[in-house]
Amino acid sequence: MPTGTHVVVWIDSSEARIVTVDPRATVVEVEHSQNAIRHLRSKAGNREGYRATADHVFFQRVANDLATAKSFMIVGPANAKTELVKHIHRFEPHLFARLSAVESADRMTDAQLEALARDCFVRGDQIAPGSVSI
């Protein structure tokens, strides 16, 4: 059941930083992929001749962390964020309705992720910006 919390997920192919904010607190969790894939897609004509697969166990752990969020956004570089969105759409459709945004972003600190969450979600629930810092 969704609570009043909002979540920003910064994800790449090796880790996900999950920042949960509500008016009283901020919680940061980190999930690590067991398969350290450098890129989810290989270039055409490479020697291996295969396409790296997404780590669905990793994506499912991230989706489980989003289960109680009222709304969430996904940010990150390259394809990992897109693969997470596809995973959620396919395997966790009830979460897909709570997805607010998907944006490209380079590596961010936990404080930057918290600020992004508060800026993005302050319009919806009037979370006081900067009420709690990490």
Dig out the tokens for 28 from the structure: 């940061």
Residue 16 lies in a domain: yes
**Which CATH number is 61's domain given?**
3.30.420.60
Residue 131 lies in a domain: no
Residue 51 lies in a domain: yes
Residue 42 lies in a domain: yes
Q: Give the pairing of strands 15-21 and 6-11.
A: antiparallel
Give me the pLDDT at residue 95, please. Answer: 93
By percentage, how much of the chain surpasses pLDDT 90?
33
Dig out the tokens for 106 from the structure: 């380079």
Nearest residue to 66 via CA among 97, 103, 106? 97
How many folded domains does the chain comprise?
Answer: 1
Q: What does the alpha-carbon distance between residue 69 and residue 121 come to, in Å, rounded to a whole number?
A: 12
CB count in 10 Å sphere of residue 127: 22
CB count in 10 Å sphere of residue 125: 13
Give me the pLDDT at residue 50, please. Answer: 53
The residue assigned the tokens 């270039």 is 43
Q: Which residue range forms the structural domain that includes residue 19?
A: 6-124
Residue 73 lies in a domain: yes
Residue 129 lies in a domain: no
Residue 23 lies in a domain: yes
Residue 133 lies in a domain: no
The predicted-structure confidence for 47-65, as pLDDT tens digits, reads as follows: 555 555 678 899 999 999 9
Dig out the tokens for 36 from the structure: 């350290």
The predicted-structure confidence for 78-111, as pLDDT tens digits, reads as follows: 788 999 999 999 999 999 999 988 999 899 888 8
By percentage, how much of the chain surpasses pLDDT 70?
71
